[in-house]
Structure 1
Amino acid sequence: MDLGIDRQALVPVVQQIVSAVAQWIRNSGASPGTRLPSIRQLAQDNLLSQSNVIEAFERMVAQGVLASKQGSGFVVAHPPLVHEGQWYEGAERIWGAFADNPLGELKLGCGWLPDTWRESDDISYAIREVTRTDTAGLFNYSTPLGLPVLREQLLKRLTQLHIPASVDGILTTAGVSHAQDLLIRTLLKPGDCVVVETPGYGNLYRQLAFQGVSVLAVPRMRGGPDIAALEALLLQHRPKCLFIHSLYHNPTGTSLSRGVAEDLLALAHRENFLIIEEDVLGDLQHASCTRLSALPHDERVIYVASFSKTLSSALRVGYLSASAALIAQLANLKTLTGFGTSRFAEAVVASLLANGTYRKWVQRLRKRLNAEMAATLQVLEDEEWEVFAVPAGGMFLWVRPGGGEFSRLQACARRLGVLLSPGSLFYPSGEHSEWLRINVAYASDPRAQALFREMGPARSTSTILKTTSM
C-alpha cells in the first residue's frame, strides 16, 4: 500500500498515514473485517518508522475505523456510512457524520467554517487575558441575563445595526439553538402552530416537533417568504410566531428585501403574531441590507444572533434582544434549566469585541468568503449546475446538478469522499429534494471541484453514451 507520504508537508506524518489509510478504505470499498498490511510491511514499503504506523493505527482504532485482532493485526471495523442505493437515514446520522468524520471526508454540505480557516492566535490571546484579569470567570456562574460587560458590548453592536435595545433587553445564550429552545418553551405550548420557511433550518423543525408545536410551511423565495402563500396560511390558521432568516438564509443564501420586510411587519400587526428573526450570519454583511428588527415593529420582532458560525462553535455564545418583560421570563427559564451560560466563554467574546479583534477578523472572513463565493459560482456556471439565487454574501449556496440522477450524485460523492447535505434535511416533512446546500468555504477543495465537473450535463451524457455502447 503506497501511502504517498510527503515529508515536506506541514501535516504530521502520523496524520498523513491516518488520512491515506482512510482514503484507501473509502476508494477500495473494503468491507468490515478486511485485513490491512502488517505494520512492518507498511513501514518498510513507505520508508516509515513502525512507531509512526502503530500510532496512526491506534488513532484509527480509537475512532472506530479499525479494530485490532489478536494474532491477525488490524482490520477494517467502521462500516460504510452509506450503503449502495440508499441515503443517510435521519438527520442525526448526517450531523454525526459531519462531526465525527473518521474517514476524513470533505464536509462540503456542513454549516460551519473549516478548521484551517480559524485564527486561533487571537482567541488564545483573549483566553490568556481573561485568565489573567478575571479569575472569577474560571470558577463562578454568570448572571441570569449574562455577563454585564458582554451585554454592554452587544448593546453597542445592536445600536450600530440600528436595532433599538437596552441592556435589560439583552439575554445571552449558548448559541442560537439554545435561544430558540428558550423561546419555544416560553412562548408556545403543545398544539400551537407557527410558520417556518421551507427550505429552512432543520434543527428548528426538530425542536418544534419535540415540543408538540405544529408547523406551517411557507416557501422561501429570493426576497424572503412568499407573502401570498403566507397570507393564505393566515386565513386558515392563527399562528403564534414566524421564524425567519433575514440575511444569508440557511440554506438558500438569500436575503430579505425591503418590500417583503414591510409586508411581513404589516401582516404581523394585523394578524397578531410574533416574528423571531435569526441573524447568525449577519456580521458578514458588506452592503446595505434589511433587518426586521431595525424597522419599526412595536416589539413584534425578537432578534436572535450568535458568534458560533463566525468566531467559534466551541465557545457557544449567542444572544437575543426583545422586550424587557420577555427577557425576564426567558432569564428565569434559562436559570431553571441550566444555571446560566458560561461566564468564561462570554468573557472571552467580550474581550474580542472590546479590543476590535472580532471586527477585524470578520472583515478578513467576509473578504475570503466573497472570493470563494465568486469562484464557486463561476465553476457551477461552467458546469451548468442550477443555482437558486446568487447571494449577496455569506457562505451558503442552494444548488442542484444540471445532469444526472440524484442517485448518481450520491455515488459520485461517496467515491470522491464528499459529505453532502441532502435537500430533505431542510424540509419539515423530510420530503425528497434534489437541491443541496453547498458551503463555499469548502468548495475549492479538489474533491468538490471533481464533483462539480463530474455532475455537469456534458459529462453525464458522455457517461450514459459510454455505458450504452458497452
Structure 2
Amino acid sequence: MDLGIDRQALVPVVQQIISAVAQWIRMSGVSPGTRLPSVRQVALDNLLSQSSVIEAFERMVAQGLLVSKHGSGFSVAQPSTLYEGQWYEGAEREWGAFVDSPLGELKLGCGWLPDAWRESDDISYAIREVTRTDTAGLFNYSTPLGLPALREQVFKRLSRIHIAAHQDRILITAGASHAQDLLIRTLLKAGDCVVVETPGYGNLYRQLGFHGVQLLQVPRTPGGPDIPALEALLQQHRPKCLFVNSLYHNPTGSSLSRTVGERLLALAQRDNFLIIEEDVLGDLQHPSCTRLSALPHDDRVIYVASFSKTLSSALRVGYLSASAAIIAQLASLKTLTGFGTSRFAESVVATLLANGTYRKWVQRLRKRLNTQMTATLQVLEDEEWEVFAAPAGGMFLWARPRAGDPSRLQACARRLGVLLSSGALFSPTSEPSEWLRINVAYADDQRALALFRAMGPARSTSTILKTTGV
C-alpha cells in the first residue's frame, strides 16, 4: 500500500496516513471486513515508524472507518451514513456540514476559507492582548449596541466605503445570520411578503419561511436583481422588504451594477419598501463595486456585514447599520433574546481592526483569492463549463458542465471524493438545478481539477482518474 507520504508537507505524517488510507477505501470500493496490510508491512513499504501507522489506524478506528480485533489486525468498518447525499453550508442532516468528514472529502461548494489559508498567529496575539488589557471582557456582558471600541472601528470602516453612519446607528451581532434574524423578527410578521433573489442564500430562505413570511422570487442577473421581473412583482404585491446581496453575490459571485442599484432605490421609494443589503464579502471589494448603502437612500437601506467569512467563523461577529428607530428596536430584541453578544469576541475583532492586522490580512486574502479566481475561470473555460458571470473578486463561482448529466456528475464527484452543493439548495422552492456553487479557494485541489476535466468535452471519468492519479 503506497501512501504517497510527503515529508516536506506541513500536514503531519499521521494525518497524511489517515487521508491516504481513507482515499484508498473510497476509491477501491473494498467491502466491509476487508483486512488492511499489517502495520509492519505498511511501515516498511512507506519508510514509516510503526508507531505512526498504529496511531493513524487507531484514530481511524475512533472515527468509525476501521475496526480492530485482537490478533487480526485492522479491517474496513461498515460504511457510515452520516455523510451520504449532498453537503452544503447549514445542512441540518445529522449536523454533518459542521464537522469534518472522516473520509476527508473536498467541500468544493462550502462557504468559508480552507483552514490552511487562515493566519492563526494574528488572532492568537489579539486574544492574548485582550486577556492582558481587558479583563472585564472575559467575564462581563457587552453593551446592547455592542462594544463601543468595535463600533468605532466599524464606523471608520463604513466611512472608508462611503456609507454614512453614526456609531449610535451601528449594532453588533453574532454574525450576519443573527442580524438577518433580528431584522426578520422586528420588521416582519407571518403573512407578510418579501422579495428575495434566486438563486440566493438558502439559509435566508429558511429563516423567512420559519416565520411564515411569503417569498417573492426575482431572478438574479450578472448585474443584480432582474429589474423588469421585479417591476412585474410590484404591480401585483406590496412587499415589506427586498433582500439583496450586492457584492460577490452568494452563490453566483456577481456584483450589483450602478444602473440596477439606482433603479432599485427608485422603486423602493416609489413602492415604500425597505432594502436589506448583505455585504459579508465586502472587505474583498473591487474599486468598481456599487453598494446601495453608499448611494442616497433616505434610510431605506439596512446594511448587514460580518467578519465571519474573512476573519473567523468561530468568533461570530457581525454588524448592521440602520435608522435610529430600527436600531433601537433591534437592540431591545437582541437584549431580550440573548443578553447581548460576546464582549470577548468583540474585543478580539476590535483589536485586530485597531492595530491594522485585519486590513493587511484582507489585502493578502484578496490577492490570493483573485489569483485563484482567475485560474479557476481559465480551467472552466478550457473544459467548456458554462459560467454564470466572471466575478471581479470574492470566493464564489456559479457554473455547470455544458454536457450536463447530473447523475454522471454526482457519480464522478463521489468517486473523486468531492462533495458538491447543488443548485437546488440555492432556490427558494428547492427546484432542481444543474448549477453548482464553486468556492475557488478549494478549486486548485487535484480532486476538483479532475472533476472539471472529467465533465469536459469527450472525456471519460476513468481516463481522468488514471491520468491524474486520483
Question: What's the secondary structure of 1:215's corresponding residue?
Answer: strand
TM-score (ref. length: structure 2): 0.93
Which residues of structure 1 form unaligned runs of 5+?
464-470
RMSD: 2.2
Q: Which moved more, 1:54-63 or 1:112-121?
A: 54-63
CA distance in 2, matches of 1:65, 1:205: 36
Q: 1:91 to 1:159 in 2, by over 3 A?
A: same
2:373 is matched with 373
Q: Across the two proteins, how many residue pairs are aligned to each other?
A: 461
Task: Check whether the contact 2:278–2:304 (CA below 8 A) recurs between aligned residues.
Answer: yes
SS at match of 1:457: coil
Which deviates more from structure 2 when the two are superposed, residues 177-186 or residues 31-40? Answer: 31-40
Aligned pairs for 1:51-66 within 5 A = 51-66=51-66
User: Within 2, Cα distance between the matches of 1:94 and 1:272?
Assistant: 42
CA shift in 2, pair 1:300/1:34, >3 Å = farther
Query: Match for residue 420 of structure 1?
Result: 420
Matched, 1:123 2:123: yes
Residues 31/135 of structure 1: CA separation in 2 closer, same or farther (3 Å cut): farther
Q: What does the per-residue CA deviation read over 1:434-469, in whole Å, with 9 as the maximum and x for residues that have no partner?
A: 011111111111111111111111326998xxxxxx
Native 8 Å contact 2:171 2:319 kept in 1: yes
Q: Give SS of 1:327's match.
A: helix
Q: Which runs of 5+ in 2 are unaligned?
A: 464-470
Deviations 1:199-252 (CA, angstroms, capped at 9, x unpaired): 000111111111111111110001100111111111222211111000000011
1:79 and 2:85 matched:
no
Q: Do the aligned residues in 2 keep the contact of 1:87 with 1:410 (CA within 8 Å)? A: no
CA-CA distance at 1:99 after TM superposition:
3.6
Deviations 1:133-170 (A, max 9, x none): 11111111111111110001101111111111111111
Does residue 299 (structure 1) correspond to residue 299 (structure 2)? The answer is yes
Contact 1:246–1:277, Cα closer than 8 Å, also in 2: yes
Aligned-pair distance for 1:325?
1.5
Instruction: Please identify, of 243-252 and 206-215, the stretch whose mean Cα deviation from structure 2 is larger.
Output: 206-215
Once residues 173 and 97 of structure 1 are traced to their aligned partners in structure 2, the CA distance between those partners, rounded to angstroms, is 23
Equivalent position of 1:468 in the other structure: none
Structure 1 counterpart of 2:220, one-letter code: R
Is 2:213 the partner of 1:210?
no
Q: Give the Å deviation of 1:260.
A: 0.8
8 Å contact kept, 1:31–1:79 = no
Match status 1:267 vs 2:267: yes
- 2:468 corresponding residue in structure 1: none
Alpha-carbon distance between aligned partners in 1 of 2:217 and 2:449, rounded to the nearest angstrom: 34
- Within 5 A, what are the aligned runs for 1:34-113? 34-68=34-68, 73-74=73-74, 75-79=76-80, 91-93=91-93, 96-97=96-97, 99-113=99-113
Equivalent residues of 1:150, 1:350 under 8 A apart: yes
Tell me the residue number matched to 1:349: 349
Contact 1:98 1:107 in 2 (8 A): no
Matching of residues 170-249 of structure 1 within 5 Å: 170-249=170-249
Sort the Cα spacing of 1:205 and 1:71 in 2 relative to 1 into closer, same or farther, 3 A.
Answer: farther
- Match of residue 439 from structure 1: 439
**AA partner of residue 387 (structure 2):** V
1:138 and 2:138 are equivalent in the alignment: yes
Moved more, 9-18 or 149-158: 9-18
Cα distance in 1 for partners of 2:461, 2:141 equals 62
C-alpha distance in structure 2 between counterparts of 1:67 and 1:195, whole Å: 52
2:288 maps to what in 1?
A: 288
What is aligned with 1:467? Answer: none
Q: Is the 8 A contact 2:153 2:353 kept in 1?
A: yes
State how far apart, in whole Å, the 2-side matches of 1:370 and 1:392 are. 8
**Percent of pairs identical after alignment?**
83
CA contact (8 A) 2:83 2:96 kept: no
> C-alpha distance in 2, partners of 1:51/1:202?
45
**SS of the counterpart of 2:106?**
coil
Greater mean alpha carbon deviation, residues 69-78 or residues 20-29: 69-78
CA distance in 1, matches of 2:415, 2:124: 38
For residues 204 and 33 of structure 2, the distance between their equivalents in structure 1, rounded to whole angstroms, comes to 39
The 3 A distance-change label for structure 1 pair 451 and 461 is: closer
Correspondence for 2:391? 391
CA distance in 2, matches of 1:23, 1:162: 49
Deviation of 1:404 after TM superposition, in Å, equals 4.5
Residues 1:315 and 1:82: Cα distance change in structure 2 (over 3 Å): closer
What residue identity is the alignment partner of 1:57?
F
**Distance in 1 of aligned mates of 2:159 and 2:431:** 41
Change (3 A) 1:193 1:359: same
Q: For the residues of structure 1 that align with 2:309 and 2:405, how far apart are their CA atoms?
A: 32
Instruction: Flag the 1:69–1:204 CA change in 2: closer, same or farther, 3 A.
Output: farther
Contact residue 126 and residue 348 of structure 1 kept, 8 A: yes
8 Å contact kept, 1:81–1:88? no
The offset of 1:299, in angstroms, is 1.0
Is the partner of 2:346 in helix, strand or coil? Answer: helix
Distance in 2 between residues matched to 1:461 and 1:124, nearest whole Å:
44
